[in-house]
Amino acid sequence: MAKQTKLTKAARGRECQIRIPGVCNGNPETTVLAHYRMAGTCGMGMKPNDLQGAWACSACHDYVDSRRSADDRAEARQYHAEGVMRTQAILISEGIVAA
């Protein structure tokens, strides 16, 4: 199991920030930090920095990580990216991350 960081721990019990309509289960008990994967920031066996993560319910996390079939992969990536930005805004407003 991967080491829990300050930012991965901060996801526990939080509201999903990816919020894919018709997918999101809205259950904060399933929320984890879902890393946004992008060329140049991750690779084989290497996760992106935790700042590139969004708080995601289990359903949205499965959807953006392709464990569940996405109707539109580009749209899923956009929801995920917006979730990363919302998550960062919350972390900054709570003083967990400095801007």
Q: Active-site positions? A: 35
Task: For residue 23, give the DSSP letter.
Answer: T
What tokens were used for 63? 């959807």
* SS percent in the chain: helix, strand, coil, step 5: 40, 10, 50
User: Is-contact 53 84, C-beta < 8 A?
Assistant: yes
Burial of residue 15 (CB within 10 Å: 0-12, 13-18, 19+) is: middle
